[in-house]
Amino acid sequence: MANREQLQGHWNEVKGRLKEHWGQLTDDDLRQFDGSADQLVGMVQRKTGAARNEVESFLDGMFQGSVSDQAAEKIQHYADAAQNFADDAGRYARDQGRRLAAQSSDYSAQLAHTVRSRPAESLAIAFGLGIAAGAVFFLGRKR
């Protein structure tokens, strides 16, 4: 059943729907409400002759709709935020990929120029790196 906070937080809506559903309820009747859901149900029962479970079901149905509407709004808000984050992440990844591609192209061109202009030194460096890599590989296998 609806709690005190729900009733007080949406009192104008509750009051309007109660009067719409049970036309014999007056503003004076509803002014007696002190925040207690049980007291409200009892007053509606006395004034309208409705069964307790009918009044409770009416109030619960009213708040289930508004709670689910609020939940749907929150879910939509979080979905929008997640979509914005994904869009930003995609843009960032594309920008960084372009930047790295441009840098690697620059390094590749610079390396090609160095090898063409200094072939002997380049060959010596490549040979030294090969020996170092082989030593690391073979020392790693012995352990």
Q: Give the structural domain span for 111.
A: 4-142
- Residues 10-26, buried b or exposed e (16+ Cβ, 10 A)? beeebbeebeeebeebe
pTM: 0.39
Count up the domains in the chain and report the number.
1
What's the mean per-residue pLDDT of the chain?
83
Model pLDDT for residues 89-100, shown as the tens digit of each residue: 999 999 999 999
